Amino acid sequence: SPQVSVAIRSSLQSLREKIEELRELLLRAVSMRQITQLEGDRRQTLVDELLTRHKQLEASYRNEGPEPDVTRSSLMAGGAKRGITNPWLLEEPEETRGLGFDELRQQQRRIIEEQDAGLDALSSIISRQKQMGQEIGNELDEQNEIIDDLTNLVESTDDRLRNQTRHVKMVDKKSTSCG
C-alpha cells in the first residue's frame, strides 16, 4: 500500500507538470499565432477541464469532498456520469459534429484552400495598389521636375524684370536731370 500511494502521488505530480507544460505550449502557440485565438480558447477550455479533473483526482486520493467513490467512477469513466460522452469534444461545433478523422481532415483542407484563394486575391489587390503607388510616385517626381524648371524660369524672369526696372529708373532719372 505505501508503494501504491507513492506511485499515485508521483503520477499525480507528473500529471500536474504535464498539464502545466501543455498550458505553456498552448499560450506560446497562441502568442506566436500558430493557431487562431478561437482554437486557442477551445483548447484552453480542454486544458482547464484537465486541471479540474486533476484536482478531483487529488481530492479523491486524499478522500476529500463528497462521495469519493462516485467521483472516482466518474473520473475513470471519462465524464460519462455527467452526461458527456467524449470529454475532448466538450463544445464541438455543429459543422464538425459526427465527422470522422478523414472527413475532418478534408474539411480542414477545404477551409485552408478557401483561405489560400482569399489570400491570393488579397495579394493581387495589394500588388495592384503597390503598382498604382509607384505610378503616382513617378508622376509626382515628373511634376516636381516641372515645378523646379518653372521656378527657375520665374526666378530668371524676375531677375531680368528687376534689371529692366533699374534701367528704366536710370533712364528716367537721367531724362529728368537733363531737362
Q: Enumerate the domain spans of the chain.
A: 2-65+114-151
Residue 79 has pLDDT above 50, yes or no: no
Residue 106: how many CA atoms within 13 Å on its side-chain side? 6
In this prediction, residue 91 carries a pLDDT of: 66
> Rounded to an integer, what distance in angstroms lies between the CA atom of residue 179 and that of residue 176?
5
In this prediction, residue 73 carries a pLDDT of: 52
Distances (CA, A) of 148 to 143, 155, 159: 9, 11, 16
In this prediction, residue 151 carries a pLDDT of: 94
Class of residue 143 by CB neighbours under 10 A (exposed 0-12, middle 13-18, buried 19+): exposed
Residue 85 has pLDDT above 70, yes or no: no
In this prediction, residue 68 carries a pLDDT of: 47
Question: End-to-end alpha-carbon separation of the chain, Å?
Answer: 138
Using pLDDT thresholds of 50, 70 and 90, give the confidence band for residue 125. Answer: very high
In this prediction, residue 107 carries a pLDDT of: 84
In this prediction, residue 90 carries a pLDDT of: 58
* Mean pLDDT of the region 167-176: 88
